[in-house]
Amino acid sequence: MLPIIKRNDSNRAANWINEFFNEGWPLLRSSFNEPAVNIMEDKEHYHIDIAAPGRTKEEFQIHLKDSRTMYVTLQEKDEHTCTSKEDCKVLQREFQLNRFEETIALPDDVDTERISAKMENGILHIALPKMDEKQRLRSAKMIAIE
């Protein structure tokens, strides 16, 4: 079986170079601040866990593009904890994640109608139920030959 996850790494090296020349070393360090992703499989499901401590479910979006590609995005709301935003300036920031996107190529046996997700204790849990053999045969599309 092909791997479930296909990371979108195409621009990571270019981003590191641009951040270094535009902002210096501290932003280079922040490139490694992406959430960790675990993938597990049992007889009935694939499970994807994304560690995102301090994040809320409202900051995440999960959507399917064609029936075999799932996108998980995190868009951080830029909020400071200062009482007066006019007088607030960041002196040091070691954890910041403005945007994160994970592209996941789904295996053929995933039942896309029953995918579920929940946020619990800083971890986004995504359950991808597998179809049994009968469901897979019913979902197959036959192409007529002329």
Q: CATH number for the domain including 31?
A: 2.60.40.790
Residue 6 lies in a domain: no
Residue 82 lies in a domain: yes
Residue-range definition of the domain harbouring residue 85? 12-139
CB atoms within 10 A of CB 36: 9
Residue 133 lies in a domain: yes
Say whether pTM exceeds 0.85.
no
Helix (H) or strand (E) holding 13: helix 12-23
User: How many domains does the chain divide into?
Assistant: 1
Q: Along the 146 residues of the chain, how does pLDDT read in single tens digits?
A: 445 554 555 555 555 555 555 554 444 434 456 788 899 999 999 999 999 888 889 989 999 988 789 999 988 765 556 666 677 777 776 666 667 888 999 988 899 889 999 999 999 999 999 988 777 666 666 677 88
